[in-house]
Structure 1
Amino acid sequence: MAIFPIQKCQAELPTSRPRQPFPEVFSSQIPQQAEIGSHSEQHEVSPVGDSVHYDILMSIDDNGRNHSVATAPEAFHDFFDGAGVSLSGGFEDGTWPTGFSPGGFIYPSPRLAGTGYSEDGGLSQADCLPLIMQENGSSICPDTQGVMTPQLLGSSGDMDPLLMSRYQYDKSGAFYFKNLNIQSVSSGTDPTQFLLSKPSIFATSREENGCENVSALQLRQELQSLVPEGIGLRLINLFERIVAPDYPILPPGELNPGTSPPHLLASVYLLVEPFTKFDEKLCIDLAYDKPSNVALYGIINRALSHEIHAPKLCVVQTMLLLVIRPYPNPIVLDSGFKWSQLASLIACAHTLGLHLDPKSWRLPPWQIAQRRCLSYFIYSTDKWLALSLGRPPLLHYDNWLVTSPSQEDRPVSGLDPQAWTKIMKRAKLDSLLDRVLTQLYSPRAINTICTDYEKTIALTGPLLEDLFSSHRPVSAPSTDFRSSNQGSSHQGRPTRLERTLEMNYHYIHLSICRAILRPFLQPTVENLNEADYILAHEQARIRAETCISAAVEFIHGLRPDDLETVWPAWSATAFSSICFQILHMATSSVDRSEADKWVTCLHKVRRDMRLKADVLPCLHLGLLRIDSIFWKGIENVLHLEEHARQAFASGSSIGRPLGITGSAK
């Protein structure tokens, strides 16, 4: 075992790891520590997210009683875990430092009262808590260093990792300077180090950028005035019941209204607000007095503007939840802001080294799994948001190592094997989407194949084969658009993640078919009468018809209970894309018969979406956009051939059940 000094730490750690019982013998130490912490809080304003020690003391009353839990409270462990103090182990000679017991438990050391600060407001090197460190260095990692914030030292930066691998690190892999520490997490042929910095070194930059130096305690008080702790606990329960199975980026039990970062809690509250009707208490408590989304976002913005200078994992988790969150106005695609959110998320992720695979790093297994899960969901979100907004992805496969989770990552998610299997299935679709965006929709690919149907077919064939083999949609395709009005069986209908997985499947299928049709929709193409070209054109339209038929069946099968599902931001454009592809098929029809079929299909989908939009807000955008074309007058928006114009004119029973003739009212 080895001891080395570290800075005073108040980290925010996952609470999913096993907790040790809290011995009664140490309870007398708590009031003394509470008094010390309260005194220091009055003299130093802790930057947002840099400290949570005052939250730990909130569960201790004036008489020194602990009201949290019968066993060791989460905050008790988080405080000392964050300080880098091991919950087990001692000196190599078998002795124990002040405040440690051979039983593996710790209690506050009286030495903390005399802790000194350096001129920059941080702890001086000589007055630091000891850190018990296992010789393999596995009990310390960049994400649990309290106020010290990690930044990855990249291989092309000025501080060459190969040179830095020659530093005289201690047994924990750390090397100390005055305001900076170097933490080595991996050696060998590809050494990896993090630069750990004191918050004070960013003070000038934060001040210049107008960042408000607000304490997390103040933000927490504001948040609790908006969302009392009892309501917060129920909102967290909704998150873990509805959101976490789809996006397990937070270990179960980690969220707590009293200790979790206020900006993270606020993002959770924003995301689960639509689901409050599924809680028997919140459906009444929040029926007339919901927390202000503007105020919640205000807390997030004030925190992140400060934290983004030195982000931690909780910042990345907050940003990811905000990017996933549906648009606040379901009829407005706030694409510029959402894309900027994603860019900020990715920038912070790069800073923390989330683009790398930590499997070979000297980190605790739970921390490796947490980083890998977070990395995968960032990669997945980038692909889907890029598809939905028509932008090139910000992440490239070569520059992001964790593109799929593994079975070893499951324990930290808290999911059972069956639920994890669905996550793995989604990862396969994500991988396929990456290929679709790269091979069919990158600017270079479009320039190369947009007029070449042979190259397009050669590229899309394998993609379709992989799509069909990787996912079997529950909604069976039907070429008869009228038959779906008869209703369908609900047996085997997917729920929650399975439902959005099916949407993802149809969205990818539609994107591939759009690319197949692209060469045949160009204004001028040579050899129009060539037999191979004509046959390929017919097959392309048949493929598109099969794809759209399945998507139409999927929309028809949506039910009110699908509201209890996380429909991420890109869901709105998925449904809108289906509508516009049907419109494109109608306007590009080769004859009146085909045009009539597609016009009928379009009106059927509009009717289905109109009936379901009040239940599923993600349908509003597509419905509004396609309805606006008919409101303007189809002939006033599009250049139509005569047979297409006649088809739209004769099929003008907008929003009426199929089979009823007569003029629309």
Structure 2
Amino acid sequence: MSPLETPPSPARFPHHAAAGSRRYRSKAQRPCDLCRARKALCNIPDPSRPCQLCDRTGRPCTFLAGTKSRPTRCSPGRSSADDGAADSLADQTPLTASSFSRNDARGDLVVDNPTSLSPAFGGHPLGMDEMLPTQWSPDLEQLGQAEAFMQDIPNFWSIPYGDASVMGTADSAVEPNSGNEEALSRPQVQATLNRHDRSTSFIGYSNESDPFLLEHYPYNAADELDFFMVTYRRPSSQPVSAGHPPIHFLQSKPQAVLQNQEAMTGCLALKNERDLLNEIVSVEMGVALLRLYLRFIFQNLPIISRTELLKDEEEFIKSTSPGVLAGMYALALPFTSWDEQFCLDSAYSKPDVNRLWQVSYSCLQRELHFPSLSTVQISLLLLNTTTFDPVAVETPFAWSLACSALAVAQSLGLHVDPGPWRGLPAAEARLRRRLWWTVVAEHGWRAVTHGRASMLREDDCNVTPISHADFAGVEDAHGAADYFIHFCALTDIVSEICRSFFTLRTVSKVQDLKDIMDRARPLQRALHRWLESLPPSLSLDQPASDATNSDVPDSRASLHVAYFTARVLLLRALLRPIVRPRLPDDHDDDSAVHEVLQESRDFMRALIAVVRGLDLRYTAAFWPAYARHCLCYPGLFCYMLCFQRRSPRDRAGDEELFARWRGVLRARVGAWPLLRFAVVKVDAVFWKKMEHTREKRQWSG
């Protein structure tokens, strides 16, 4: 035993009247003092023993702290976030400000001075296990007890939105912009963002959930808005103004995260990934899956040497990292019906895709200490893992992995142009260039959809733009090169849009319509030139070359969805000064406002027509993982358009456009599961009856 550890003394633990689980806010069965302070589930399996948390940490399981009386609420709404750690810790003798710090997302306390303890914690020195974060058990049943189904969702169904008095009640939705004086005078409810029962993520300004749109959502008195499995949290009610951009957090329940963790629990225990991979996929089937990868996925992820693969496929399997092979196999599995040999076998049984991703992930962890090109390849493949739940919010792991891939790529010198390196084989030089631009593209689009600032600086790389020469020796090189070249060019434009309009410094400035339009015009022209430069092979209205190929999956549609996302980002920036409440010193040109609104409506009509025209050969193709977020942008942008106040006569048309987009999604989601996340985003607006909120906000005052 460590000399710092103090063995628990049975005499310190009182006997409890009853066993069972006690919620930290329970009145009938109060939790112990430690569980109340940590907002933890107080689980007492045996009434003669302390609770699980106190038993594990060796702390006294006491019930000494008295309850603190709370001020009376003006309405009987649900308990707000001030039931949290701030009030619970207030029941204890306070520590000094420097004696503790928040350690992680669970909100556990890490005491800097183990001898400076309050009497409420027993006054005994902390053991090593107490100074470490509590290891919360990933038990879904226990989480279900701690998080009762939909218990915290406010009753929006009974709120009469037509009654103006409802909007002024303490526990009802608060309008963030329509009453700035009221928002400033309303006391700020303090609650920690560091909740152990939530995964908290900052919502960036290019995220599909536009923070400027979230300002219009009906938050309660605690500045929270609950949906089914997530909570939108606004930590400050400060009105949006110059120097005060909208700040929002998304707090999601851990069930989806635990599913991902469970799938990876045994990964690092794998002893020989290659032997395991050979058990899952035979060499014969591996060759077939590699051919399918080249046929259906290579143009999106040209991260391997096609020349080396086709030279000797079995030798390629023997010499390539099993993590790379496992990722390629997993992405190619949905297309086994297009292989003449395995189409029948795949109808009855397929390799376990989860085990393939386990092999890939395990190899990545092993290779990170000694990275090579395969480490970058595995990272790029893992970034395109299909989520366990298509409607689950993506965890920060994807953004962390994208940044890690960029860091490894820079460590390997991929950001340096290998053209002048004469001692390098030409095939390897081409592969390095393709790998670098794939990393740039994946990192760039993850930065967009996660609302993060890119970790890549333009002056930190000198690799020239990708070209057809980088696909030399590839069968159908022109088709694969065309897609990837135009995709990389579009990524550059989108990255410039984010740098111009979606950085923290930019959104903190005064949102002047004329200034935004002047800065947006060059980018609009760049997008127009990009679209005009597309070859016929990448045009959506280009028919298949022959009847045989008319139903073969074709991934060109993902390129156009990325283009539409870029257009939405520009139009969102232009809508900011239009949807905000009009200030006395606003002098926006009405013709400019009309131009932006009309362009937004024309764009949505064109987009609806394009999505309606996507048939099975497009929807059945390979789609990058971030595409499900891109498909969310049009719906929330259309909802944002409904908040404009400058053209009241067009209100009905904007609402009809929003409903039409919702109908398009609903009609296609059954055959196209990738749309499920976009459908949930739009349906949530109607489920929470927030269209009434929009109406109330738009026409009040």
TM range (shorter): 0.5 to 0.7
User: 1:193-342 residue pairs with structure 2 within 5 A?
Assistant: 218-252=272-306, 253-254=308-309, 256-342=316-402
What secondary structure sits across from 2:319 in the alignment? coil
Measured in 2, the distance between the counterparts of 1:274 and 1:637 equals: 42
1:597 aligns with 2:653: yes
Cα 1:500–1:576 shift into 2, 3 Å: same
What is the TM-score of this pair, normalised by structure 1? Answer: 0.58
Asked whether 1:573 is paired with 2:629, we answer yes
Q: Partner of 2:592 in structure 1?
A: 536
Question: What SS does the aligned partner of 2:637 have?
Answer: helix
After the TM superposition, which residues 54-133 of structure 1 pair with which residues of structure 2 at under 5 Å, given as runs? none
CA deviation profile, 1:485-544 (whole Å, cap 9, x unmatched) = xxx98858997343222112111111111111112223353434x3x5322211111221
Structure 2 partner of 1:440 = 501
Shift of 1:396: 2.0
Q: 1:420 to 1:211 in 2, by over 3 A?
A: closer
Contact 2:635/2:658 (<8 A) preserved: yes
Deviations along 1:358-395, whole A, 9 cap, x unmatched? 11123222221111111011111111111112111221
Structure 1 pair 534–396 and aligned structure 2 pair: CA distance change class (3 A): same
Cα separation, 2, equivalents of 1:453 and 1:434: 21
2:431 equivalent among 365, 370, 380: 370
Q: Is residue 500 from structure 1 mapped to residue 558 from structure 2 by the alignment?
A: yes
Aligned to 1:455, which of 483, 493, 515?
Answer: 515
Change (3 A) 1:598 1:472: farther
Which of 512, 517, 521 is the matching residue for 2:575?
517
- Match of residue 11 from structure 1: none
SS in 1 for 2:333: helix
Equivalent pairs counted in the alignment come to 418
**Could you list the runs of 5+ residues in structure 2 that have no partner in the other structure?**
1-265, 535-539
Q: Which residue of structure 1 aligns with residue 489 of structure 2?
A: 428
**Structure 1 contact 576–622 (Cα < 8 Å) conserved:** yes
1:590 is displaced (CA, Å) by 4.3
The aligned residue for residue 559 of structure 1 is 615
Tell me the residue number matched to 1:350: 410
Q: Contact 2:301–2:438 at 8 Å: present in 1 too?
A: yes
Q: Distance in 2 between matches of 1:405 and 1:555?
A: 29
Partner of 2:163: none
2:453 is the counterpart of 1:397: no
How far apart are residue 287 of structure 1 and its match? 3.0
1:415 is displaced (CA, Å) by 4.1
Q: Deviations over 1:107-134 (max 9, x none)?
A: xxxxxxxxxxxxxxxxxxxxxxxxxxxx
Amino acid at match of 2:283: E
For 1:230 and 1:585, the matched residues in 2 are separated by 54
**Is the Cα–Cα contact under 8 Å of residues 375 and 403 in structure 1 kept in the other structure?**
no
Cα-to-partner distance string for 1:50-107 (whole Å, 9 max, x where unaligned): xxxxxxxxxxxxxxxxxxxxxxxxxxxxxxxxxxxxxxxxxxxxxxxxxxxxxxxxxx
Contact 2:417/2:462 (8 A) holds in 1: yes
Q: Distance in 2 between matches of 1:492 and 1:535?
A: 43
1:92 aligned partner: none
Deviation at 1:279, TM superposition (A): 3.1
- Residues 385 and 625, structure 2, Cα contact 8 Å, conserved in 1: yes
* In structure 2, C-alpha distance between the alignment counterparts of 1:598 and 1:490, rounded to whole Å: 31
- Distance between the aligned counterparts of 1:402 and 1:431, measured in 2? 13
Distance across 1 between alignment mates of 2:521 and 2:449:
23
Equivalent position to 2:676, from 616, 620, 626:
620
**Pair 278,564 (structure 1): closer, same or farther in 2 beyond 3 Å:** farther
Q: How does 1:378-417 map to 2 (within 5 A)?
A: 378-402=439-463, 404-411=465-472, 413-417=474-478
Q: CA, structure 1 residues 398+412, in 2 after alignment: closer, same or farther (shift >3 Å)?
A: farther
Contact between 1:324 and 1:381, CA under 8 Å: does it hold in 2? no
> Displacement, 1:213?
9.0
1:316-357 CA-to-partner distances (Å, cap 9, x unmatched) read 111112213443422123141211221221121121111211
Q: Which amino acid letter does the alignment assign opposite residue 588 of structure 1?
A: Q
Q: What's the offset of the Cα at 1:595? A: 2.1
C-alpha distance in structure 1 between counterparts of 2:464 and 2:512, whole Å: 31
Cα pair 2:578 2:646 within 8 Å, conserved: no
Distance 1:211 1:580 in 2: 38
CA contact (8 A) 1:325 1:569 kept: yes
Residue 640 and residue 280 in structure 1: after superposition, are their counterparts in 2 closer, same or farther (change >3 A)?
Answer: farther
Structure 1 CA distance, aligned partners of 2:473 and 2:543? 33
Aligned CA distance change for structure 1 residues 637 and 352 (closer, same or farther; 3 Å): farther
Partner AA of 1:346 in structure 2 = L
Deviates most, 378-387 or 585-594: 585-594
8 Å contact kept, 1:514–1:544 = no
TM-score scaled by length of structure 2: 0.55
* 1:459-493 CA distance string (max 9 Å, x none): 1011101111121499xxxxxxxxxxxxx988589
Cα distance in structure 1, aligned partners of 2:462 and 2:351: 39
CA contact (8 A) 1:223 1:262 kept: yes
User: How much identity, in percent, do the aligned residues show?
Assistant: 24
Residues 403, 427 of structure 1: 8 Å contact kept: no
Unaligned runs of 5+ in 1: 1-209, 475-487, 645-665
SS at match of 1:640: helix
CA pair 637-391 structure 1, distance change in 2 beyond 3 A:
farther
Q: Name the Cα RMSD after superposition.
A: 2.9
